Amino acid sequence: MRLLVLGHGYCAGFLTRLLVPQGWTVTGTTRNDTARLAAAGALPLRWPGDERATTAEIARADAILASAAPAPGGDPALRDFAAALAAAPARWMGYLSTTGVYGDRGGGWVDEGSALTPSTRRGAERVAAEAEWQALAAAHGLPLHIFRLAGIYGPGRGPFAKLRSGTARRIVKPGQVFSRIHAEDIAQVLAASIARPSPGAIYNVCDDDPAPPQDVLDYAARLLGLPPPPAEDFASTQMSEMARSFYAESKRVSNDRIKRDLGISLIHPDYRSGLAALYRAEAAGPLL
């Protein structure tokens, strides 16, 4: 079986490490980080640059995952490969989106049937990209699945380095909660969907415990035996526009569907489990 990943980034590395031992051949596109893909077990293709080879791979892939972020002009995979994707024989296609499509809910719950009301530019771009993919799938009968990912963490993406260096910031915004997901759980959700296709399905991919960001930082500091950074009030502290945008939304995301329809039992059901695993892995040796 052959998987093609259009935009083989951080999450795709975990999926590759899961599928290759099962006999899959994984090919991934990258701008220039071919060594990272090879280390994960994927065959690298340059994109932009190797469009002809990428088009040929689309024509023989059993599964295709698109994880490239939207560009100002729309989804880059559809911009460059819409015709090839429309004719692709793949039995499974996946698109990695974000729970940012739901916008701010004041800490309330959302599920896959909730209205899409993004409150940031990035969220609006993902809503548009989802619609582009759905339109192509509807027009050509493609087996599309959409995965709305919560805040991603994992090896190399935990708070420990910033806490050790003293650069971590404990921003407190009353009532603020985020949903999160460990990269290993993203990989197992994608693998389960590939094994059990359900064209048209949309899945929220998040853990069981939406939590305030300061609670996560406090727990990480306790694992390291360090004092947590001093609290900073969101309303008055100085932050970049990009950093401030991460606090523009507060919501709790339901993951019932991945459990019910895909039989998922989360490896890291909450941030405490995930951070403790990262801490043990760091103590044991180099990160992935």
Helices (H), the chain: 10-19, 34-40, 51-58, 76-86, 121-140, 160-165, 183-195, 213-224, 241-245, 256-262, 271-284
Q: Which residues contact 276 (CB under 8 A, 6 or more apart)?
A: 223
> Domain map of the chain by residue range?
2-157+182-207+254-269
CATH node for 2-157+182-207+254-269: 3.40.50.720
Residue 288 has pLDDT above 80, yes or no: no
Please give the average per-residue pLDDT across 57-67, as a whole number: 98
The pTM (predicted TM-score) of the whole model is 0.96
Please write the tens of the pLDDT for every residue from 11-55: 999 999 999 999 999 999 999 999 999 999 999 999 999 999 999
Residue 282 has pLDDT above 80, yes or no: yes
Q: What is the mean pLDDT of the chain?
A: 95
Please write the tens of the pLDDT for every residue from 70-101: 988 899 999 999 999 999 999 999 999 999 99
**Based on the number of CB atoms within 10 Å of its own CB, is 236 exposed (0-12), middle (13-18) or buried (19 or more)?**
exposed
How far does Cα 245 stand from its chain's mean position?
Answer: 18
Q: Which residues contact 264 (CB under 8 A, 6 or more apart)?
A: 185, 188, 189, 192, 255, 258
CA distances in angstroms from 236 to 145, 178, 185, 214, listed in the order given: 41, 21, 36, 16
